[in-house]
Amino acid sequence: MGPTAGLIGYGAVGGAVARMIQDGAAGPASLVAIVVRDPRRHDEDQARLGIPFVSDAADVVALCPDVVLEAGGHDAFRQHVPGLLSAGIDVIAISVGALADPELLAEVERAAASGGSRLRIPSGAIAALDAISAAAVLGLDRVVHSVRKPPNTLLDADEAAEVIRSGEPRVLYAGPARAATKLFPANVNVVGAVSLAGIGFDRTEVRVIADPSVRHNTHEVEIEGDFGRLQVRIENIPSDENPKTGRIVPASLVRALRGLSEHVLVGA
């Protein structure tokens, strides 16, 4: 018997996560319930998966899962994650740009402390979070995170067409990570993960660029500190369902879930 999991969200990421778990990509793990805004819209999905769709995370708590995977966006994170942590249930979350709100971060920390639980942040659309967090132990001087995406994933149709016609990249934002996560909540959750792993939302420098020369969602992170210097670049193929997110994101959640049943875990 493997670990049991709840799931928050059934959009591009959540739907892919559910399918991958059903197909065995998470090893012996299984889903017990999926939290969505309106379960009535998912009658066919519920029948196909054989899993209840609910609107309240309290219904998931009643099923006592080992963990809950969050893929529902910032509002769903705020609504459900603190309560799950308070109830003693670990959460693996990707909508961590929401934690740019210091009050929410403090609430999450209090909830986890009171419930004896943990919030885990997987790599999502980036790589080397383990190396960044290890380097932070020694001390970091600078973290720069550049996000390059096709214009139509960052701009409305008219503006995207204008950038494409120009053939030149357009810098949409340059500044601290905290503001970036608020301006581009659907695009830069990965910035939140890098900030939390490294030197925080206020010291992490972010550039968001609409670039007609890139076909994939591209993240470049440069960090400098007492450990040395690290450069990371990842080019994510966009999801077919939602070009604002990469195919690797649901795989990251599924990999984290699979790790709960593995005896040898790499990158922990």
Could you give the CA distance from residue 192 to residue 200 in angstroms, rounded to a whole number?
Answer: 9
The residue annotated as part of the active site, out of 42, 216, 219, 263, is 219
Residue 80 annotated to the active site:
no
Residue 51: partners with Cβ closer than 8 Å, 6 or more residues away: 18, 31, 32, 33, 34
How many Å apart are CA 63 and CA 35, to the nearest integer?
A: 13
Let me know how long the chain is. 268
The phi, psi pair for 88, rounded to 5°, reads 90, 15
Rounded Cα distance between 197 and 40, Å, is 38
Which residue stretches of the chain are H helix?
12-22, 43-49, 57-61, 74-86, 102-115, 129-138, 157-166, 177-183, 189-197, 248-258
Residue 17, SS3?
A: helix
Residues with a catalytic annotation lie at 219
